[in-house]
Structure 1
Amino acid sequence: MKPQPFAVTPDAHGRALNVVGEKITVLAPNTATQGYEVFLQQGEEGCGPPPHCHDWDESFYITRGTIDIGYDDQVITATPGTFVHVPAGTMHHFRFGAGGGEMISVTSQGGMASRLFTRIDEEIPPGPPDIARLLAVASECGVTVAAGDAPHA
């Protein structure tokens, strides 16, 4: 099926998903684009995923606050206007800075991020996460978490 043009207005997109304390709004799932995905990600100070990798590219554009983003052996403090690209298979992580932050993220074709975020929202209740279940959902959605690193809010 050929992708169709579409617009997503603030009053028309779905609710923000709760992904271990981070609020993630799916703006464009791969079912609509027939390829990439786009998300609005918002987090409180200290929130963010542990080091992980997956088989799709991921890019981040910071719109508010500071976000420490790590990949390979470096960590940068990204401020509004910063763009970071992480190729598929690259171990990476991020942590929202003082006062929290916001960013737009985009995944490449073949990504399963919207599936991952939806499943976590549905299966992992707020509060301290069930780490074993969280790691199982991540694995089922093509995400590998670095050994010894547990997800946290």
Structure 2
Amino acid sequence: MTADSAPLPADDLSRELTVVDADHPAGGWLALAGDTYAMLVTGAQTAGRYCLIDMRVPDGGGPPPHRHDFEEMFTVLEGSIEFTFRGQTRSVQAGSTVNIPANAPHHFRNTSGAPARMLCMCTPAGQDEYFSRVGDPVSGPTAAPPRLSPDELRTRQETAARLAPDYHTEMLV
């Protein structure tokens, strides 16, 4: 031990091992912004330290430009995704990992012509709660999102914009 380090705290026995079946996440699947997301590991399971989200992004899918005060890391598992970071766009292929620093303007879009899949880790957690509040439950990763009328779509967008500040997020559109 160095002079600057302190001993590790005791094991927190109130926390348990988390094991998630990616095909059957405990929180189910959510349709959001044209994508389908599953909250694999939630902030409730990590004492708020991080959350892990399975993102299925169809061709043309992805969120609008935004920024937030937490770190966000994506690992592309299948397909390719275009990430726009501070106005610069870069295509990222399966097997690559992208880290978005806190507060930086960004968004992603699947322009590959085929479905893509990513894991997204946010630290600290909170994005999982936000998505759960603004998404629509669907039956699985390939289920079609609900058909929304223009009024329903507008209501979803207004709710997402209204709640965004509560989750330290700013929409840039």
Q: Which has the higher strand share?
A: 1
Structure 2: gaps (5+ residues): 1-11, 138-145
Alignment of 1:8-87 (within 5 A): 8-10=20-22, 12-13=24-25, 14-34=27-47, 35-87=49-101
Residues 37 and 107, structure 1, Cα contact 8 Å, conserved in 2: yes
CA-based RMSD of the aligned residues comes to 1.9
Q: How big is the shift at 1:6?
A: 1.8
Runs (4+) of structure 1 moved beyond 6 Å? none
Q: Which has the larger radius of gyration?
A: 2
Q: Across the two proteins, how many residue pairs are aligned to each other?
A: 145
Residue 99 of structure 1: SS of its match in structure 2?
coil
Structure 1: gaps (5+ residues): none
Q: How big is the shift at 1:143?
A: 1.2
| TM-score for the superposition, normalised by structure 1 | 0.85
Cross-structure match for 1:141: 167
1:78-113 deviations in whole A, cap 9, x for unaligned? 11011000011111100012112100000112x311
Residue 114 of structure 1: SS of its match in structure 2?
helix
